[in-house]
A and B are shown apart, each in its own frame.
Chain A
Amino acid sequence: MKIHLLNTRKLALFGILVALCLAIQLTPRPPNVEFTSFFTFAVGVIFGPLYGGFFGCIIMFVNGFFSPYGFAGLVMPFQMIGMTIAGALGGVYRRLMPEKIDSVRFCTETAIVGAIIALIYDLVTNIGVGFWFVVGGMNFALAMLIAIAYGVFFSIVHIFSNTVVFGILTLPSIKTLNDLLGGEKIG
């Protein structure tokens, strides 16, 4: 009976987080400043890598159709893959986390993880853009090089914003979510 109640609570929280994340993701904002990877990572930490991956995947699928920047097209599957990796990394990070970790160290680590997630996500989506060039008849290697090189300014903004967002928000958010689910203490 207890397990059933916990699952219902988890499911409700998962649904609320999906709705909240989608609302923020679909709101017009500066390019490459986003909170979805942070939410996805947090879900991965709280619910595990599978839920985290699924969360990121579903958010980017909906975003692909309703994004304020228009239909994502061929890049959408790559965005889904990128965000799935972000969610899975949340679960992996939780498993590799030491039993006791002080707050400053936790914030520093999550800031670095945020930067890594932004980098991986941008690499994956830039490869998606490169595929567009390949479809247009460009040489594969050149297409990938151009897509990655010309996306570098967006990537730098993304890495910087993710570092800040992860570094500041992860600890209080995970604490709150954990408390809501009655889980173990973090930080």
Chain B
Amino acid sequence: MVDKRVLVFVTLAILVWAISISSLAAYFYLQNTTYTKQIDENQQSLNKTASNYDESMNKYNILMGEYSMLYGIYSFPGGNFTSSIESLGRLLDSLKGNYSHLLMDQEDLNETYYTVEEDYELIYKESNVTREDFGRLLNEYYDLFNLFAVRELSFVLSETVTLNVNACINYGNGTISWCNETIMPAGSSLFQLTQKISEIEYTHYPSMKPGHVLVDSINDKKTYAVGYSEGWSWIWYYWDAEKQNWISGPAGCDAWMLENGGIYEWRFEHWSWP
């Protein structure tokens, strides 16, 4: 016969084993539940992105078709541009209607749109619209349309992808303030990042390309010029990880799209000319 004490200890050992295994099972069950939930959420997010992408491409194709018709009128000789200008006006309205959410959210796009619209109003008032005027306006429209399309795609992507960027502001007097690990939606420009991390003033230059924005002040530190030959301005740089140095920004900050893990710097710098 097995003695009672042995039975008690065997029972205790089995109890330890049973509780440990049950806890392990609970752990794997919880992990499984968590991962299943995450996978479902990711799938829903992907489905939403795919659906938004389809919608965006559909919109793009319709607008592209309408633009193509006007471009045909412009390309073939003998076109009546005075009557066609109204069609271009409708196309501008259609662009505004289709991308209204971008116009509301993105200041730089809004300003560029209204510059094209003003140009249109000026040409529309003329009794005789020339081929050159029509072509120039059509060109402005096309640039704007492409910009809207790129931003819209970025916007679609931003619902599933975010960017993690680092930026610093170098005031030129030894003070450098860093904003590390800043989260931005995919498709954001350096201009949007700068607006997020600081108080800025800027001027929109419609004729300047690529990018129309020049920053006049960051956190109340204003640019200034001494005559025409020298001054202090806000210049932006990005960090080139391969070359291991700062590269001066080759475009306006509103045209430069952020990269995940990118490092950017605004530097208050002295310049002189020539």
Contacts and interface: CB of A to CB of B under 8 A. Distances in A.
Interface of A: 98, 108-109, 112-113, 115-116, 119, 123, 145-146, 148-153, 155-156, 159
B27 interface: yes
Interface stretch (B11-19, B60-68, B151-159, B195-203): B11-19
A112 B24 contact: no
A78 to B, nearest CB: 17
A133 to B, nearest CB: 13
B225 interface: no
B27 A112 contact: no
A112 B8 CA distance: 11
B26 A152 contact: yes
Given A108-B9, A109-B9, A155-B23, A145 B30 contact: yes
Q: Is chain A's interface secondary structure helix, strand, loop, or mixed overall?
A: helix
B47 interface: no
Given A152-B23, A159-B20, A98 B13 contact: no
B30 A152 contact: no
Interface size class of B (residues with CB under 8 A): 10 to 19
Nearest to B16: A115
Contacts of B13: 112, 115
B59 to A, nearest CB: 43
Interface in B23-70: 23-24, 26-27, 29-30
A83 B203 CA distance: 69
B5 interface: yes
Nearest to B14: A112
A156 B20 contact: yes
A149 B27 contact: yes
Contact of A149 (B5, B9, B26): B26
Contacts of B24: 152, 156
A98 B19 contact: no
B20 A146 contact: no
A123 B12 CA distance: 15
Given A149-B29, A156-B20, 14 more contacts: A112-B9, A112-B13, A115-B13, A116-B12, A119-B16, A119-B20, A145-B26, A146-B30, A148-B23, A149-B23, A149-B26, A149-B27, A150-B30, A155-B20
Q: Is chain B's interface secondary structure helix, strand, loop, or mixed overall?
A: helix
Contacts of A150: 27, 30
Contacts of B30: 145-146, 149-150
A123 B23 CA distance: 10
A156 B27 CA distance: 13
A123 B15 CA distance: 13
Contact of B16 (A98, A112, A152, A153): A112
Nearest to B9: A112
Which among B12, B16, B27 has the greatest number of chain A C-beta atoms within 10 A?
Answer: B16
Contacts of A155: 20, 23
Nearest to A160: B20
Nearest to A142: B30
A98 B23 contact: no
Contacts of A109: 9
A112 B20 contact: no
A17 to B, nearest CB: 26
Nearest to B30: A149
A109 B12 CA distance: 10
Contacts of B12: 112-113, 115-116
A70 B20 CA distance: 27
A143 to B, nearest CB: 12
A167 to B, nearest CB: 12
Contacts of A156: 20, 24
10 contacts: A113-B12, A115-B12, A115-B16, A145-B30, A148-B26, A149-B23, A149-B30, A150-B30, A152-B27, A159-B16
A98 B5 contact: yes
A123 B30 CA distance: 18
